Amino acid sequence: MVRTRSLEHGISEAKEAAAAGAVPVVMSGDGLVGQVGGALAGTDATMGILPGGRGNDLARVLGIPTDPAEAVAVLADGKTRRIDVGEANGRRFLGVASCGFDSDANRIANEARLVRGNLVYAYAALRALLAWRPARFTLVLDGGEPIEYDGYSVAAANSRAFGGGMFVAPHAELDDGMLDVITVSDVSKLRYLRGLPMAFKGTHLENDEVSEMRAATVEVRADRDFAVYADGEHLTDLPATITVLSGALRVIAPTGQLVGPPS
């Protein structure tokens, strides 16, 4: 067991373990899981996951239990599956790359120290909403015609969930070589706030201001600076080109259907 001092240290230890023929198992939240997974992508290494963070969204979608004994049982079972890995301006991620309102909320969540558990995401969203003003986004999907809209955010989803169980892209698949692109156009802050709880069940897609598209490559620009976050970490800044490395990572996880939003 190695107690990591930073993301960089964790990545280095995992790569050394993999090079020695071992299976690196990450006990952490989505941040370290995503960065280690990105570093191991494209190699013959297999990664294990023990959920140990606030969100644990990749583990949730893969069906890895949060109970430590049950999660270890998944590791002992040894079943593996290949999943896609996303890239935003060359920086790799496993979950959902997003920007706009999500940039502000992610920053606030990462800076919060007094709020525990999943409550931090609700706290961050409320804090971000107070100061929010709409942005103008421009998207290009797979080299097509530009799509412009005023609104809150754009998310390029490799996986289904972020933010501690918000199924922002409930139809996303981890092994289809595609990104599910979710946009939220401009509505009142009150309507946006009412829509947030719907994301935990994936029913926000029923709202007129929410659009769902799919692409292998997504180019994103905006009329002001935004950080691009994925797996809870600041990956890069706009403008950004987001792509997929198909089947690039082998993980120990239950096989079969991915976990979707609760009914």
Placement of tokens 């990450």 in the chain: 26
The reply to whether omega before 197 is within 30° of 0 (cis) is: no
Q: How many residues does the chain have?
A: 263
- Phi–psi pair at 145, nearest 5 degrees: -70, 145
Q: Are 207 and 198 in contact (CB under 8 A)?
A: yes
Query: Tokens representing 56?
Result: 């644990």
Give the Cα separation of 25 and 48 in Å (integer). Answer: 4
Tell me, yes or no, if 233 is annotated catalytic: yes
Q: Sign of torsion, CA 12 13 14 15?
A: positive
Query: Tokens representing 40?
Result: 């191991």
The active-site residue, picked from 87, 173, 219, 233, is 233
For 3, residues 6+ apart whose C-beta sits below 8 A from its C-beta are none
What is the dihedral angle through the alpha carbons of 13, 18, 21, 25, rounded to the nearest 10 degrees? 80
For 245, residues 6+ apart whose C-beta sits below 8 A from its C-beta are 41, 42, 84, 85, 86, 87, 92
H helix or E strand, kind and range, residue 120? helix 119-131
Catalytic residue IDs? 233
